[in-house]
Each structure stands twice: as structure tokens, then as C-alpha cells.
Structure 1
Amino acid sequence: MAKMQATEHDARKARRAWIPFLAVSALLIAAAMLGAEIYGRRTAIEALESQGHTDASLKVALLTAVLERPRALPLLLSEDQQVINALSQGSTEAIDILNRKLEGLVAGTQAAVLYVVGTHGVAVSSSNWREPISFVGNDYTFRDYFTRAMKEGTAEHFALGSVSKRPGLYISRRVGSAEAPLGVVVVKMEFDRLETDWRDARRPVYVTDDHGVVLITSIPSWRFMMAAPAQEADLAAIRDSLQFGDAPLTPLPILRPTIINATTSLVSAVLPGAGEAEYLRLIETVPTTPWELEYLVPTSEPIAAAVREMRLLSLAVLLPLIAIAAVLLRRRQVAATKIAVEQGMREELERRVVARTDDLSRARDRLQAEISDHRETEARLQVVQQELVQANRLAILGQVAAGVAHEINQPVATIRAYADNARVFLERKQVNPAEENLNAIAALTERIGTITEELKAFARKGRTAAEPVDLRGVIEGATVLLKSRFAGQLSALDIRLPPPGLLVMGNRIRLEQILINLFQNALEALEGRENARVQIAVAETEDGVAVSVADNGPGISPEILGSLFTPFNTSKEKGLGLGLVISKDIVADYGGRIEVSSGESGSCFTVHLLKAKA
């Protein structure tokens, strides 16, 4: 009985635990839906704003291109002799010639009308002189583009035609000087084709002037409406100017604007044939005019799609988490029901634990002994490892020291030869040659110091930074260093110097070391041979520059050739076997390589270097 009561009590307790869980889950889902709506709406508006500004900029570019086309006509016609003749002479013949000229120009310029107005404000010639709505004889003194052109020389004015009743942009220019004006040339430009290209019932676009009046629009019924309500005094002034005829100048059906930034706002708009909807209004200025282009992008569908996507994503993340939490809660309840059963088993478990404690204690002692052995072994391994690292370090230091001796030995030998020569010259009282040798000795001592610094830098950081080097100077410098030591053999060198200005990537001193090693090896291989010849050539390749050093010596034996670039491998009695190793490392540092070929007819070493830009 007591067990049954306990089970029923546990069941009631479990049911009560689900109530706060379901409440918290509902709140999380509601918060996630609200957050998804806010985030989805914001991201959708940002995407629409970015794309909308791009589209609006393209439309502004198209409008600017259309405007620029006819602006040159008034300038050209104001200086045309036939226009001047018609205004100054006023003869029927001159006016007839001008009428026909203007009529021909309209067809090729895409202007709506071209006409010429005299100083009294009456049109004397027009491209539509044959038509019933000819502008000839009409008085335009009330038009702003006439009065401003007479005063300022040029003007642009958008208005409704007083004769044609068609809207357009009037571009005017005075003929003659300000002191002696002859009249005004006017070009009227209409935007029917542009408005047709813009026409999209779902994405309205319109252009407003500095008063906010709609001039050009993809929705014809919006023409001459106001982008925003204006003061009655301003409206009266616009109506009195007859710029837009008898247009009522009522506000556009755009309501409740919410400003996002200086060029973007959210509005509600009523389009013809459609109900009220939300739009993103984007504003772009039109260069070279006081106009602004406004572009309405519908937001309902993109925002709804973005919100729907974000809600689905939120549910896809949140529902599995709630399900996992429900499973964990259920498992916790199941575990709670098992506590009573496990309570009886605990005593048995504790007894077994005590029995196993002794076994574990003994196992622990064995494990500690093994851990102690492992630590001693690890300590010995660390000592051995440190000894190996030290041995490796000593080997590297020995190789670097041997390399320093090898590289400095060449200029030291040359210094000795120059010193001997200088002594002989001094004994012969030949001061100038002796002075040249002493200067050469001084230069070589600087050279030794530079080599030492280069090798110290190499030992410290592994390589010298590559820079553009004149290859011709490198070859000449290597030849100078060998001049004294191989004075009797330098005639064997057939050097084909590259043109000045051929630059390779590297360091001059280190590149000279390579060529000295190669020249020296070649000359030593030719000692005692007749017709000895060492040919040095330079060739440009697809990926760089190749310097080849070829001799007609006995060649390299296959045993030595196989390990030619191994340290301390040499066939010379006094050689260290480091010259080619160092040369290969230097070339590799600068992204190049050394190739060697050898046979009975001689050996050829080719050094490939990266070409530098001049």
C-alpha cells in the first residue's frame, strides 16, 4: 500500500513539473517569433535599400545621359551665322533658311522643338514652322528661360508648353553679347521615351524640382503633383508663373513617412489601380540639376519572405532544443522513480565496494610503481634528447666555421698576391702600380669584412633578403677576385657579359661567392691542359636568367658526381668540399637552382636565378 501511495505521489509531482516547462517553452517560441520578425524585417529593408540605391543610381545615370545630349545645341546655334542673319536682318529669306535648318536638326538630335526668339520675346523661327501648332509668332516674354537667358546668357527651365500643352525641359542661350543681344535660341526636350523605359507599375520612379513638383514620372497621373505639402504662398507663386499650366499641385498619395536616413524612408503609398501598400522611398540627386530622383520599392513581399524565413530558421533551432529539454526532463523523472529501487541495491553495492577497495589499493600501489619507472625513463630520454640537440648544434657550428674559412681563403690569397706585386713595384720605383695594388688590398679587406658580416648574418637568420642586383657587375666582381690567383690562366675565361641593366634577385656578395667557386673549380680542373677554355654565358629564360660555366676539362667522375653537393665531398687534396654546398644553399635562398652535367668533353654548371624587374 505504501509503495502504491508513493508511486501515485510521484506521478502527480511529475505532472506538475510539466506545467512550468510548457509555459517557458511557449514564451521562448513567442520571443523567437518576435525576434525573427524584427530581424527579418531589418535585414530585408537593408537588402532592399542596397539594391534600390543601385537601381536608382542607374536611372540617374540614364537621365543624366539623356540631359547631356541636347545641351550643346543652344551653344552651337547661338554662334551659327544663319541664326545671326535671321535675327539681325529679319528678312523672309533668312528666316525661311533658318526654319528649314532647324527642321533638319530636330530629326537628328532627338530634341522635341528648336526655335529662335527675338529680343522682343516673339519666336521668329521654329523647327515646327510647318505644323498647326507652330511656335512662330508666339510671345515668350513671360517664360523664365527667355528672361534669364537674356540677362545671364543661358538658362534651363522645365514647364508645360503654352502651345503644345506637353511638358518638357527648355534649354536656352542668348545670341550676341549682353550689351547687344540679338535674341535667344531655345531647345525643348521631352522625356516620353525615358518615362516609357522607367514605366513599372510596381516600382514608381519620378523626378522632382527644387520646389518638390513632380516633373518626370513613370506614373502619368502623378505629373505636376507635390512630393510634400507646400505653403499656400509658394503654390500661388508657382501657379502665377504658368510654369505648369493650371495643374492643381496636390500632394502625392504618399502617407506616414518614417525616416531611416537622409536618403531613405519607409512610406505608405496608394498607386493607381491598387490599394495602399508599404514602400521604401529612396532619393538620389541628379547631377548638374537642382532635381532629385525618388524611387519607390515595394517592401511587403520581401519583408514577408524574410520574416517567414527567419521564423522557420528560429523554429528549426528552437524546437529541437525544446525537444531535447523535454527528453532530459522525462529522463529525470524516470530516474527519480528508480531512486527507491536503487536505494535497496545501494547497501549491496557498498559491501562490494569495500571488497573491491583492497584490490584497488593494491592496484594503485602497482600503478604508482609503474608511474615512477615511466618518469625515470622520461628523464633519461630528455637527457639523451638534449645531448642529441647539442651534438647537432655543434655539427652545424663546425660546418659554418669551415665555410667561413673557405670563403675568406680566396680574398686572403688574392691579398697576398697583391702584396707581393706591390713589393716588387716599390722595389722598381713604380709607384702608380704599387698604389693600385694597395688600393685593391684595401678593397679586399673591406670585402673580407663584408663576407664575414654576410656569413654572420647567414648564421644568425638563415638568409640575406633578396634585392635587384646587376648581373654584369656580379660577373665582373668575381673575375676581379680571381685575377691575381689565376693571373696566368684568366686567358682561358671566355666571358660573354650580359648587357648592362639585366637585374636578378639576390645579394651581390653572395652571388659573387657562387661564381668564384664555379670559376675556381673550372680553372683548377684545367691546370696543365692545352687549349684550356672556360666559357661563361648568360641567357634569359621564361622564368628567369641562366648563367652557365662550361669547361673542356676531364669531367667529374661518376662517384663524385652522385654526391657532388654533399658537405666535405671533394676530389682536391686541400679542398674542404663546401664550395658547391654553400653555392647551392645561396641559390636556393633566392629561389633558384644549380644544374650540372659532365662528360668526357668537360663539365657545365648552370645557375638559374630569378629575374628582377628593372
Structure 2
Amino acid sequence: ARRARESEALAAERGLDVANLEALNAHIVQRLDTGVIALDRDGRIRLANRLAAGIIGSLDGETPTLAERAPALQRAFEAGGNTERTPITVSGIDYLPRFVPVGDSQRGGTLLFLEDLTAVRAQIQQAKLASMGRLTASIAHEIRNPLSAIMQATQLLGEADYLQDGDRRLVGIITKQSRRLNETVENVLQLSRRSPAQRETVDLAEWVPQVVSEWRAAFSGGEVEVQATAIAALFDRSHMRQVLENLLRNAMDHAGEHPAVTVVTGRDERGAPYLEVRDNGPGIDAEIRDHLFEPFATSRRGGTGLGLYLSRELCEANSARIELRPEETGTCFRVTFAAPDGAQQGGQA
């Protein structure tokens, strides 16, 4: 009887330890920066932490299959568990899935880990920008010094009274090309001057009309309509201003003779805040569409091709993304921000 009582007391103590350990593990899993999904041997979702629920949707007591909530992940699982570690797009975001068997592969389930590549790419981008900034700064300064001398000498030469019409035309060409080169140098120097992102909560309904109004005052011609709703986004204000001004400038340059640009804010299907800049132009040629965000890629004559590249770098540094949206007419660029509270509604894959 004494042994039975001791065994019962030990079992109760061990049960309490197991319950506490289970609660601790559940708390850790929910707080992970990686999405975690537990699958049984039939492919049904038994557990999804907070981040995973934002990807596949809340379970609400149900046990749906992975194929129902995320067909792309199910295909990767059936193809061998993504052993080649290929990113998979779910709800418009790239994830790196990793499948880990639990227990006996014949009877046990599978743990699925989803790593959001946005934060990883942002860290890589910061390191790349730091090294590239030091290189570009030294090169740009070496170019800028003789370029300033050329522009000053050309200006003095253009003021001479003895120049013929042909000579003045040549001086004009030198001045124009020198300014173009100086614009390129200034854009490159922005990469080295940029400070780390200081993200803060920005009310798009208040901030977007203010920036557009200031930009419109400095830009003559064209119409800019703002359709901003009360949505908060997480971004560095100075970085966001550069991105929006680059998109507005691009829209005006490519919209044609009578440019009409619309700036819209809203939430996507996952609840993430976004900002769109749309124009009424002819759209972007197919041959440059795949290289749109690469440096020095441009379809505008006289353009530097650095505006969209810098915009993408700034977005990735703020855990945001910029993309070209498919439109029947005109061009539409969307910037999707991180929500201030990190909470996003779940959506179907």
C-alpha cells in the first residue's frame, strides 16, 4: 500500500512536470520566428503556430489537409520533401520549407518548418549594401571631382562671345551629358549614404497625401489622385519618401502626353498593408519586364535605370517588397509593408 501511494505521488509529480513542459514547448513554438506545422501520417494539419496560421489560415478546431490549405507545399512534400531547398511562393511570399519526419516514417507524422525569406534577404541585403557602399563611394568621389571641373569649364566656355553656332551646340551636348553623368553619380552615392532603416509606424492616410502634395508642387504637369485609407504600415519615413517619389517620377515619365497617376492604399488578401502607384501609360515592354529591378535597366531614353533598383533595396531593408502588378492597361507598382503589430490575416495558398 505504501509503494502504491509513493508511486501515485511520483506519477502525479511527473504528470505535473510533463504538463509544465508541454506548456513551455507550446509557448516556445508559438513565439518562433519560423512557421511550424505538424502533420499526421494522413497529411492532416494537427498543429500550426502563430506564423503558420497567418500563412495557411486559422485551424479553429478543424483538421484540414495540407493539400486543402497549401497545395504548393503539398506538391513539395509529395516530390520528396524539397530536398533541393527550393523557395516556394505561398500567398505571394517566398518561403523555404523543410520537412522533418517524426518517429517511424511509416507511422509517424511530419513537422513542416516554413522560413520567411523576406527577413533573411533583408539581412543579406544590408551586408551587401555595406560592402558595395564603400566601393561605390570611393569610385563616385573619384568620378565626381573631374566631372565638376568639366562642368565648370564647360559653363565658362559657353559664356564666351567668340563661339560659333556649331561650337555652342557641342558645348550644349557636353553640358547635357555631364549632367546625366552627375545624376548617375548622385544615385550611386545614395547607396553609400543610406543609414540603416529606422522603422516606425506610419499612417498612410495622413502621410501619403502630404508627400504627394509636396512632390506635385515641385513637378509641373500631370494629374496625381490619392485614394488613401486609414492604414498603418511599418517603414522608415525617409526611405518610404524616396520609394514613393521614385514611383511617381517613373509613372510621369512613362505615362505619355497626358499623364494621370493614382496612388492607392489598402490591404491585400492576407491583411498586409500596401501602397500602389498606377498610371495610364502604355505599360512596360515584355523584354525589360524580367530585368525591371536590376541596376541600369531602363526603357526611358536618358534614364539612369537606378530608380526602381534603389526602391527595391529600400523595401527589402524595411522587410517590405515591391512588385509589378499585372494590369490590362497602364502600369501598377505595389509596395507591400509589414504590419506594425506583425499580425496578418490568414489566406488560402
Q: Which structure has the larger Rg?
A: 1
Could you say which TM-score interval applies, normalised by the shorter chain? 0.3 to 0.5
Relative to its length, the structure with more helix (as a share) is 1
Alignment TM-score, normalising by the size of structure 2: 0.43
Q: Which has the higher contact order (CA 8 A, sep 6+)?
A: 2
